[in-house]
A and B are shown apart, each in its own frame.
Chain A
């Protein structure tokens, strides 16, 4: 089972590689990837350095081109595919059909993975992307229970990668318009969710408020941790109640599912967090490396370390973790 780790910058890439990632995934500094945040991502020079360092340690480099170009911008995405090919990366992570098609025709020798943003949740959808564009792996959206992942793995014509740890998108990826509805900027079109330039914090007599493009996402009492105002993790009124109507600030942590994921033939586990610090990437990579090595050595005897879970929880949103949709009760 491969460990796929996020790298939003060269220092993060170095941390991931040095702590045992089998692959790192990166993006260019533009809207062609779903973490198009200011100050993140790679220039060609950084990529050259990163590639050299990754190669020296036997780690692969994936490039995420996982947003949706409109017709007038297609050339920019095609150029990004060419650029990744010229740089000699190992794999392209792509969400959109025109980009997949271009990559398959122009650079067939580079592996193509279907991004989670491609939103494929069934054997039929995987077959479509496999037959049309020759993808060799798909990243599954975070909507399947572990039993459903297992059933899909039995039928899948290609390798499957699942999310293992990190911030939890609770809506099926690639088809969530909550950020777009409020700000006009979406993961699909702009590569961002609830972008920072639309966020406003204010101290008020009722508490600290967090707004997104003017919409009150949450208000916090003095002793409450104030989470970043993404739409799906705000507190709202439903009937007479005020609560996290969609989801609480929490992160996904599937460490305890590792033996099962391995048994059902999942090829790779993915760590979320290109927007997180190098220290975060280093720590999370180290823990998952140790856990995967342990499960590969003796899957039946696998147990998680209390220390691992403590560290991972500390690094999580709102210091909370969940098995999320993998566990039916969450749904």
Chain B
């Protein structure tokens, strides 16, 4: 079982991002995904900056992929996506079908992020034909679904691609044309003033009974609760899952990785406080 560090979902100042990835070089993860996946207006780091970081992290022994936007709306965003795809060195984690197509038509291998809908083995086989070598499971699919997807796939002719699962972090639930963070302070997306840079882990949305519910992150809506599958790592190793994905959250990422490593070594671990595992268990994600 490999561990991966998913692309940073939040908008941080340049120095903070650079410092985070500088220390991530020493992190005990196999794969690191880099790039802006949420909003094209977030440009503290440009593509050359991400590629420089990718080189450093690769030198430090990590497999590095460049991730693309989950929701592409403007022609300029598609051009950026094209430049990322054509970087020449690093494989792509496609955030949507646009990036899938850009890789396919260039004959480049690609992984898919949670924003590409692969719900069955036939879709997986079609995308494998197009160049897919790894998929991240759509967030709402749990253990039974993954088993189904892979047991059917095993009967097919080609080798099964790698299966990656969100094992730690807030769940990306939805993306919109609207920036909710800007709207919360009475601004439109075009006048956002980069409001989201003030919320390093997003802005909590609670019910009117003070129950933590969702998390605003610009155009993205996340779960308020962090998913933490570390106590189920033993089970996960029995399933057709090859990579466990960890997203950066408030809890120091070194500690999260250490917990997953302990679990992989067979030790009993305790999930983060208030965390959930509903999707993996086949329930509503919030439970």
Contact = CB atoms under 8 A, between A and B. Distances in A.
Contact of A97 (B126, B145, B211, B214): B126
B123 A97 contact: yes
Contacts of B105: 127
Interface string B113-127: 001011111110011
Contact of B72 (A121, A178, A239): A121
A125 B78 CA distance: 10
Contacts of A171: 174-176, 221
B275 interface: no
B74 to A, nearest CB: 6
Interface string A164-193: 000000111011111011111010110000
Contact of B175 (A175, A181, A186): A175
Task: Tell me which of A170, A183, A236, A329 has the highest count of chain B C-beta atoms within 10 A of its own C-beta.
Answer: A236
B257 to A, nearest CB: 26
A172 B145 CA distance: 23
A331 B191 CA distance: 10
A213 B176 CA distance: 24
Nearest to A175: B115
A174 B117 contact: yes
Interface stretch (B20-28, B50-58, B178-186, B229-237): B178-186
Given A127-B101, A170-B178, A188-B140, A69 B119 contact: yes
A137 interface: no
B126 A236 contact: no
B71 A121 contact: yes
B207 A239 contact: no
A246 interface: yes
Contact of A216 (B118, B179, B184, B211): B211
A181 B75 contact: no
A146 B207 CA distance: 34
A132 B125 CA distance: 13
Contacts of B101: 124-125, 127-128
Contacts of A180: 140, 284-285
Contacts of A242: 208
Contacts of A122: 72-73, 78, 96, 98
Nearest to A176: B174
Contacts of B213: 215, 236
Contacts of B211: 215-216
Nearest to A235: B208
A219 B201 CA distance: 28
Contact of A236 (B121, B175, B177, B207): B207
A64 to B, nearest CB: 16
B177 A145 contact: yes
Task: Tell me which of A177, A218, A232, A329 has the highest count of chain B C-beta atoms within 10 A of its own C-beta.
Answer: A177
B255 to A, nearest CB: 26
Contacts of B165: none
Contacts of A176: 173-174
Interface string B201-217: 00111111111011010
Contacts of B65: none
Given A172-B71, A245-B184, A120 B97 contact: yes
Interface string A271-303: 000000000000000000000000000000000
Contacts of B179: 331
B223 A181 contact: yes
A328 B72 contact: no
Interface residues of B, number: 71
B152 interface: yes
A45 to B, nearest CB: 31
A175 B205 contact: no
A275 B271 CA distance: 42
Nearest to B129: A132
A30 interface: no
Contact of A189 (B104, B140, B149, B283): B140
Contacts of B75: 123, 148, 151
A75 B190 CA distance: 46
Contact of A124 (B78, B117, B207): B78
Nearest to B99: A124
Contacts of A231: 214
A72 B119 CA distance: 10
Given A172-B71, A181-B171, A70 B117 contact: no
Nearest to A173: B174
A71 B174 contact: no
Given A70-B119, A331-B189, A239 B171 contact: no
Contacts of B171: 177, 181
A328 B184 contact: no
Given A97-B127, A172-B175, A213-B284, A125 B188 contact: no
10 contacts: A71-B148, A96-B120, A144-B177, A175-B71, A175-B174, A180-B284, A181-B286, A189-B119, A236-B208, A330-B188
8 tightest CB-CB pairs across the interface, nearest first? A98-B122, A184-B284, A128-B101, A171-B174, A325-B177, A181-B285, A143-B177, A68-B119
